[in-house]
Structure formats: C-alpha cells, structure tokens
Amino acid sequence: MRGKLMRVGTTYIPVHDVENSVDWYTHHLGAQLNYQDHHKAIIDLANQSFFLVKASSNENCNFIDTQGEKRFSQTFEVDGLKELES
C-alpha cells in the first residue's frame, strides 16, 4: 500500500435506545446531530462521524482481554478533571 490513511471515516456504536443516546451524546459531549431515525443516528463528534445504531439488548463494543479484564473498544478524552467529573 503506497498511500496513507487520511482519517477514520465512521465509527459504529451499538445502542439500546437511539433517542436517549442522541440526547446523551449531544448534551454531555457536545455532539452535533446530523440524522436520526428509529434505527440509527449520525452524529459529528471531535471531527469524526459516529453512527449510533440500535442493537440487540445483549450487544455492546466491549471485550474481555486475555487477563480477564473487561475493556472498552473506544474511550473519549476531555479537557481537564472538571470536565471529566461533570
């Protein structure tokens, strides 16, 4: 491959309730809502496009590592302890 990756295009996040998830991401993280229906929402957050996709009740993005610890496939960084606590 001679070219380089320009950016991550889209991240899909499984959610149980699209409307409540949109409310949370827009209120707490400042995401901008671009599209929403009953099955998905498209938000912009930190210069990236995220799809909040309605998933089955037992689905999530987490996994168990080889040490038996539950890990998150994605984390978000905020600017400072005050923002983290809020």
Which superfamily does CATH assign the domain made up of 10-76+78-82 to? 2,3-Dihydroxybiphenyl 1,2-Dioxygenase, domain 1 (3.10.180.10)
- Work out the pLDDT band at 25, boundaries 50, 70, 90: very high
Mean pLDDT, rounded, for 23-43: 96
For the cut 70, the answer to whether the pLDDT of residue 1 exceeds it is no
Instruction: Give strand ranges (E) for 1-86.
Output: 10-15, 32-36, 40-45, 48-54, 63-64, 70-71
DSSP character string of 40-59? EEEEEETTEEEEEEE--TT-
- Work out the pLDDT band at 78, boundaries 50, 70, 90: confident
Radius of gyration of the chain (CA): 15
The count of other CB atoms within 10 Å of the CB of residue 15 is 21
Domain ranges of the chain: 10-76+78-82
pTM, to two decimals: 0.77
For the cut 90, the answer to whether the pLDDT of residue 34 exceeds it is yes
* pLDDT for the residue numbered 43: 97
- The residue that leads in pLDDT, 82 or 64, is 64
For the cut 80, the answer to whether the pLDDT of residue 81 exceeds it is no
